[in-house]
Amino acid sequence: MTSEVKKKSITKKIITALWIVFFGGILAISLFIYSISINLNGWYGELPSLKSLENPKSDLSSVLYFADNVEMGKYFRYNRSQVTFDELSPNVVNALIATEDVRYIEHSGIDLYGLGRVFFKSVLLFDKSSGGGSTITQQLAKILFRTRSDLSNGSLNDVPVLGLVIAKMKEWIVAVKLEQSYTKKEIIAMYLNTFEFGSNAFGIKTAAATFFNTTPDQLKIEEAAVLVGLCKNPNLYSPVYEPKNAFHRRNTVLGQLHKYGYIDDIAFDSLRAKPIELDYDVKNHNDGLATYFRGTILWDLLAWSRENGYDLYEDGLKIYTTIDSRMQKYAEEAVETHMAYQQKLFDEHWDGQNPWRDEEGNEIKDFLINEAKKTTYYKQLKKEYGNDEDKIFDKLNEKKPMTVFSWEGEVDTVFSTIDSIKYFKNFLNTGFMAMDPHNGHIKAWVGGINYKYFKYDHVKQGRRQPGSTFKPLVYAAAIDNGYSPCYQIQDVPVTFEVVGDPPTWTPSNSTGRYTGETMTIRQAMAQSLNSGTAYVMRKIGPETVVNYAKRLGIESPLQAVPALCLGTSDVSVYELVGAYSTFVNDGFYTKPFYIDRIEDKNGKVLKQFVPKTGEALSSETAYAMLHMLKGATELPGGTALGLDRELRTDNEVGAKTGTTQNFSDGWFMGVTNDLVAGAWVGGDDRSIHFKSIALGQGARMAMPIWEIFMKKVYADEELGITKGKFKKPSNFSIQLDCEEYNRQQMNLTDSVEQVNQFDVDGIQ
């Protein structure tokens, strides 16, 4: 055989071998990919099912809405909201394609040309700047289905190099499936909705709001370039924490836009010279309107979600509340305006002295030490140092930098734990709630002065002695049992027999004296005379009052004792506002509620909430109580005569102030035809209070909040809250004309003097 023939034979064998290797390689790769797709012997880990590809799971924030469809806040593990492709600015789409996948429109999930380029430059030429070969679809597959996480691991994934190859193959398979299941536009939107941009911003909608206070459809070219730049590495190119890196990365993206013709020379030169201008704001539950309300409703939503098989933090629920964003804003402004002023009065009143006092007015010893022992930090130190109190309190007195609340804004200071307790205990706090009495919808909720620093909610969570604001519940029980607002009493001492030492109890008026005057119970309630309420309590008995209070929605424990008539049992603002609303609602109690409906992420109504209601009083009693409450704003000596005349002009206003015995609690309840609202003001600790009734009364501490709020509400015509008269029942027969009532009483067998005598049979 000649040498030429031998050469041809060898060449043929080589070519044949190469073809065998080529086709064998293709076959081997195909079998390898197929074995991965079916997870042969559990070697590779499961791939997403077709069903999951059609409905890919991504954690969606649940969104809370005001009644007027304004977004209130979110509940999330990852702060994410979705947008459609049509809601994206072309600037974002162009920047993403130009930077991450310039042949995105042409390939079907895998860019073979890009892979070839990476292989040639990286493997053959050792060029580390060649970039990656992953397409946008592959990146989405990796993020969405966590192909490289432990959740998809098989027994071969831990093998060095092989594990990485398996993961990459999985991304290819999922990418191709995604391309088959979705349009190019849908994949772009899904990628941008899924990516974590840093600063707790998951998805382009949240990122646009966090970094630039805008929406995805309004992003400018340079803003889009910053956000797309984060897709390479959110930490390394953060415009907040790595501004230089972010600037260079943004310009790289701008360079890609220029390279592929999305922007011209002039635009490129202009934009790359501009500094990054952020409008940065990371959303959290301490910010925005209705922070206390959001904290309260959370527990209801968690319970509902658990009972109905939803995850509040992942399933993108839409919760529509009854709170009105405008009224909430007015309520928070009213609280801020008055409480800043009230705090100034309080600080001047004590003039540097500690306000925690016992019943004799003496400073409570070891108050700060006892408060420190309630803290989590003390309990941690207790575990570390045991019973060594000296070491524990050395740590508690150790100074450290911290930021504290003030009415002029946050203040950076150096405090010890004991210092901070002393500082914060000097603040007065508040709770305020307003509701529509006709349907039970709560319209505004302010649980305190600042949610970030004072988490305790004083609307529903907090319960304090209501003082005289409980008296209308006593009078309501009496009127529903046949008494008239014109029923006459005398302002004289009323004594009860009680168990204990001494065996009797005689409540005194706030002034400490009695006038002896004969007056109607309407006058007595208007002036908030304790003698009048005590007399009525003695006539109808404490058990009757407790029964009616429960019918009016008071769920807090009430002691059936004579002192209950002065509001000695703790109740909440939430409960009292609900009770007073019964008077406006024709005697029907409607439990205050705040969730209107819950929808899923697609807008399907999952639950429509309806108020719980029931008849508590006759409609005649309810209207008579409105007449009683108006006495505070109409009669001489009425405790609410100080209300701005503007609110009382062409308007019927019922009101009741409340002050506890040591001035720890100041209350005000205001009732109009469209809105019922109540406010409490006091120290977080009952021992913290004003020294005298001059400043420590409900008319000074709490009434201005209601007054400021209502003036703002009436000024906003869009709310539809108008001045007017209370609706009188058509069958009303209770005599409100006291002169006529007295003439009728003269015809009865008993004289007025006999009516005013004490009925010992009523003592309980």
Q: Is pLDDT above 80 for 53?
A: no
Short-list 309, 315, 343, 493, CA closest to 424: 343
DSSP structural state of residue 602: T
Give the global pTM.
0.78
Q: Is pLDDT above 50 for 125?
A: no
pLDDT digits (tens, 9 = 90+) for 482-511: 999 999 999 999 999 888 888 999 999 988
Query: Which residues, 6+ apart, have CB-to-CB distance to 347 below 8 Å?
Result: 426
Give the separation between CA 647 and CA 627, rounded to whole angstroms. 17
How many CB atoms are located within 10 Å of the residue 358 CB? 12
Residue type, 725: K
**Coil, strand, or helix at residue 409?**
coil
- Give the pLDDT of residue 177: 80
Give the separation between CA 246 and CA 222, rounded to whole angstroms. 12
Q: Is pLDDT above 50 for 309?
A: yes
Length of the chain: 764
Give the separation between CA 333 and CA 473, rounded to whole angstroms. 30
Q: Is pLDDT above 80 for 127?
A: no
pLDDT digits (tens, 9 = 90+) for 385-411: 999 999 999 999 999 999 999 999 999
Highest mean pLDDT among 359-363, 624-628, 692-696: 624-628
**Coil, strand, or helix at residue 590?**
strand
Q: Is pLDDT above 70 for 128?
A: no
> Which run of H or E residues covers position 659?
strand 654-659
CB 354 within 8 A of CB 347: no
| Cα 5 from chain centre | 88
Is 580 or 754 the better-scoring residue by pLDDT?
580
Q: Range with the lowest mean pLDDT among 165-169, 311-315, 548-552, 669-673?
A: 165-169
> Which run of H or E residues covers position 25?
helix 3-37
Query: Which residues, 6+ apart, have CB-to-CB distance to 453 below 8 Å?
Result: 404, 405, 424
CB 637 within 8 A of CB 604: no
Burial class (CB in 10 A: 0-12, 13-18, 19+), 70: middle
Q: What is the chain's mean pLDDT, rounded? A: 87
Residue 44 banded pLDDT, cuts 50, 70, 90: low
Short-list 205, 193, 208, CA closest to 278: 208
Is 76 or 454 the better-scoring residue by pLDDT?
454
- Give the pLDDT of residue 508: 93
Residue 31 banded pLDDT, cuts 50, 70, 90: low
- Give the pLDDT of residue 671: 98
Residue type, 416: S
Residue 302 banded pLDDT, cuts 50, 70, 90: very high
Strands of 368-468 (E only): list them. Answer: 400-404, 411-415, 428-435, 442-446
**Coil, strand, or helix at residue 275?**
coil
Q: Range with the lowest mean pLDDT among 189-198, 296-305, 698-707?
A: 189-198
Looking at the DSSP assignment, which residues form a beta bridge with residue 677? Answer: 434, 670
- Hey, what are 737's tokens? 């004309």
Task: Give 535-588 as a 3 state SS string.
Answer: HHHHHHCHHHHHHHHHHCCCCCCCCCCHHHHHCCCCECHHHHHHHHHHHHCCCE
- Hey, what are 475's tokens? 């009078």
- Hey, what are 173's tokens? 């398979």
Average the pLDDT over 65-73 and give the result: 95
pLDDT digits (tens, 9 = 90+) for 457-467: 999 999 999 99
Average the pLDDT over 80-109 and give the result: 89
Q: Is pLDDT above 80 for 624?
A: yes
Query: Which residues, 6+ apart, have CB-to-CB distance to 567 below 8 Å?
Result: 465, 466, 467, 468, 469, 470, 471, 658, 660
Short-list 224, 217, 269, 270, CA closest to 250: 224
CB 121 within 8 A of CB 127: yes
Exposure string over 30-53, b if 16+ CB within 10 A, otherwise e: eeeeeebeeeeeeebbebbeeeeb
- Give the pLDDT of residue 448: 97
Give the separation between CA 550 and CA 556, rounded to whole angstroms. 9
Query: Which residues, 6+ apart, have CB-to-CB distance to 540 below 8 Å?
Result: 474, 477, 478, 481, 762
Q: Is 37 left (phi over 0), alpha (psi -120 to 50) or beta?
A: alpha
pLDDT digits (tens, 9 = 90+) for 202-247: 889 989 999 999 999 999 999 999 999 999 999 999 999 999 999 9
- Give the pLDDT of residue 152: 55
Q: Is pLDDT above 70 for 622?
A: yes
Q: Is pLDDT above 60 for 149?
A: no
- Hey, what are 674's tokens? 């469209």
Average the pLDDT over 133-150 and give the result: 71
Q: Range with the lowest mean pLDDT among 65-69, 165-169, 196-200, 327-331?
A: 165-169
- Hey, what are 549's tokens? 């209070």
Q: Is pLDDT above 70 for 124?
A: no
Looking at the DSSP assignment, which residues form a beta bridge with residue 315? Answer: 60
Q: Give percent of the chain above pLDDT 70.
A: 85
- Give the pLDDT of residue 166: 63
pLDDT digits (tens, 9 = 90+) for 684-706: 999 999 999 999 999 999 999 99
Residue type, 430: T
CB 625 within 8 A of CB 479: yes
DSSP structural state of residue 683: E
Give the separation between CA 305 and CA 413, rounded to whole angstroms. 42
CB 459 within 8 A of CB 492: no
- Give the pLDDT of residue 17: 75
**Coil, strand, or helix at residue 209?**
helix
Short-list 551, 479, 492, 482, CA closest to 522: 479
279-284 contacts at long range (C-beta below 8 A, 24 or more positions apart): 279/211, 279/212, 279/213, 279/214, 280/199, 280/210, 280/211, 280/240, 281/209, 281/210, 281/213, 282/199, 282/200, 282/201, 282/210, 283/73, 283/74, 283/79, 283/200, 283/206, 283/209, 283/210, 284/200
Average the pLDDT over 42-48 and give the result: 59
- Hey, what are 365's tokens? 């010893």
Q: Is pLDDT above 50 for 753?
A: no
Average the pLDDT over 566-592 and give the result: 97
Average the pLDDT over 130-153 and give the result: 66
- Give the pLDDT of residue 459: 98
Average the pLDDT over 6-30 and give the result: 70
